[in-house]
């Protein structure tokens, strides 16, 4: 999968380098005011370039549909987001899905698919500027190495890109769950160096909370789409499912906790590894110290006997320092645990609210 992502990014770079200022953006009345230019967002060097993500209703519907039709169980569905950048806002005006199961079809060329798609979309005046990608998630587990790498490549090629995480299960519970994430500039720096050793991470002062930053999302529709919505509202029956108010929470909660437990297990393994490493280092230090002392003693003895002292040996060759465990993985796990916890807290807050409402109603009845 990682190769696939890398290829996609390569094509994204090509497209980005061919940014033409065609008038195609101008005809789209779905973007907001005035000069829908293709200028890059002017963020300060330390600031993020994108303060807000504005999504068309159409994109939301397409993402929902894509997951509904092609996603099953724990598989993720992915796709590309198209749009443009206006000042410090990223506008996403269209998207197209990426086929899955590319492993089955050996001669399927992802890059070519993407190029063709974008070329065709350009013919019908759809914004063909690649601004990010979307991915569905299973109960909120998306903080993985693959995602990090992909998002890094995207952000490297196109400064303002975001990854939209769509949570279908939470959406089915009653409210759309769509979040936009970017890598923080600090993390971008570290990734650029490709140096994930502990020292570099410490230098960058990266904690798991500062890996991804969430960008607020707004949804925007053009007037004509609003008319369409009125029309639909008149013609369609009112939704008869009020999932949001359902009091049954144990299933969902159970699943969440299960995933959390798995991660915590991984984390604890990581910690064990780290502890062994620490122990090994300190043991090694002791050994070095002892060796040095012995050397000194021997040298003194030799001196007293008039023999030449033994040459100083390179201690580092004798005692190879143990490998420090990879810090990046544990950062990712910590980030993931954090996300799970956030989700769980949101969910329990909602449910507590519902339970209190039920209690109030019951008391009223009595």
Partner 1 sequence: MATPATPASAPAATPAPAPAPAATAAPASVPAPAPTPASAPAPAPAPAPVPAPAPAPASSSDSATAPATTAAPGQTPASTPAPAQTPAQSLPGPALPGPFPGGRVVRLHPVILASIVDSYERRNEGAARVIGTLLGTVDKHSVEVTNCFSVPHNESEDEVAVDMEFAKNMYELHKKVSPNELILGWYATGHDITEHSVLIHEYYSREAPNPIHLTVDTSLQNGRMSIKAYVSTLMGVPGRTMGVMFTPLTVKYAYYDTERIGVDLIMKTCFSPNRVIGLSSDLQQVGGASARIQDALSTVLQYAEDVLSGKVSADNTVGRFLMSLVNQVPKIVPDDFETMLNSNINDLLMVTYLANLTQSQIALNEKLVNL
Q: Is 249 in the site for partner 1 (CB under 8 A)?
A: yes
Complex with partner 1: residue 51 or 156, whichever CB lies closer? 51
Complex with partner 1: residue 232 or 304, whichever CB lies closer? 232
Q: Is 360 in the site for partner 1 (CB under 8 A)?
A: no
Nearest-angstrom CA–CA distance, 113 and 117: 6
Q: Please count the other Cβ atoms lying within 10 Å of the Cβ belonging to residue 330.
A: 20
Q: Is 292 in the site for partner 1 (CB under 8 A)?
A: no
Structure tokens at 244: 């949001």
212-215 and 178-183: which strand pairing?
A: antiparallel
Given 4, 6, 16, 341, the residue binding partner 1 (CB under 8 A): 341
Q: Is 188 in the site for partner 1 (CB under 8 A)?
A: no
212-215 and 217-220: which strand pairing?
A: unpaired
Q: Is 229 in the site for partner 1 (CB under 8 A)?
A: yes
Nearest-angstrom CA–CA distance, 166 and 155: 19
Q: Least Å distance between CB 188 and partner 1?
A: 20
Q: Is 106 in the site for partner 1 (CB under 8 A)?
A: no
Nearest-angstrom CA–CA distance, 139 and 169: 7
Nearest-angstrom CA–CA distance, 190 and 207: 12
Q: Least Å distance between CB 154 and partner 1?
A: 20
Nearest-angstrom CA–CA distance, 73 and 295: 64
Residues 258-287 that bind partner 1 (CB under 8 A): 260, 264, 267, 271, 274
Given 47, 75, 145, 219, the residue binding partner 1 (CB under 8 A): 219
Residues 6-35 that bind partner 1 (CB under 8 A): 24, 27-30
Q: Is 62 in the site for partner 1 (CB under 8 A)?
A: yes
Q: Least Å distance between CB 17 and partner 1?
A: 23
The angle, 0 to 180 degrees and rounded to 10, between the axes of the packed helices 110-123 and 2-17 is 40
Q: Is 253 in the site for partner 1 (CB under 8 A)?
A: yes
Structure tokens at 175: 């409210």
Q: Is 247 in the site for partner 1 (CB under 8 A)?
A: yes
How does DSSP classify residue 3?
H
Given 11, 48, 54, 135, the residue binding partner 1 (CB under 8 A): 54
């Amino acid at each position: 999968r990682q190769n696939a992502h890398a290829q996609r990014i390569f094509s994204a770079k090509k497209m980005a380098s061919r940014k033409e200022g065609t008038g195609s953006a101008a005809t789209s009345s779905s973007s907001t005011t005035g000069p829908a230019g293709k200028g890059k967002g002017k963020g300060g060097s330390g600031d993020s370039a994108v303060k807000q993500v504005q999504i068309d209703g159409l994109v939301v519907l397409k993402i929902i549909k894509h997951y509904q039709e092609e996603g099953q169980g724990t598989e993720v569905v992915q796709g590309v987001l198209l749009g443009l950048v206006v000042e410090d806002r990223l506008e996403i005006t269209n998207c197209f899905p990426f086929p899955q199961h590319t492993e089955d079809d050996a001669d399927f060329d992802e890059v070519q698919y993407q190029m063709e798609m974008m070329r065709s979309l350009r013919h019908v005046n759809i914004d063909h500027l690649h601004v990010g990608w979307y991915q569905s998630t299973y109960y909120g587990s998306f903080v993985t190495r693959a995602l990090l790498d992909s998002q890094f490549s995207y952000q490297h090629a196109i400064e303002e890109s975001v990854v939209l995480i769509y949570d279908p299960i939470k959406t089915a519970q009653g409210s759309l769950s769509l979040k936009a994430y970017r890598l923080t500039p600090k993390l971008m720096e570290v990734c650029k160096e490709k140096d994930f050793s502990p020292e570099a991470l410490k230098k960058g002062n990266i904690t798991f909370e500062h890996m991804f930053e969430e960008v607020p999302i707004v949804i925007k529709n053009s007037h004509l789409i609003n008319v369409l919505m009125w029309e639909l509202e008149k013609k369609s029956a009112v939704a008869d499912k009020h999932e949001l108010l359902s009091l049954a929470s144990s299933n969902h909660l159970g699943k969440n906790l299960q995933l959390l437990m798995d991660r915590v297990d991984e984390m604890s393994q990581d910690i064990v590894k780290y502890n062994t490493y620490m122990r090994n280092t300190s043991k090694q230090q002791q050994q070095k110290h002892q060796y040095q002392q012995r050397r000194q003693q021997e040298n003194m003895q030799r001196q007293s006997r008039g023999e030449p002292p033994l040459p100083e040996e390179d201690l580092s060759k004798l005692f190879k320092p143990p490998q420090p465990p990879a810090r990046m993985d544990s950062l990712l796990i910590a980030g993931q645990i954090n996300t799970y916890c956030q989700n769980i807290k949101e969910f329990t807050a909602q449910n507590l609210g519902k339970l209190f409402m039920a209690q109030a109603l019951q008391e009223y009845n009595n």
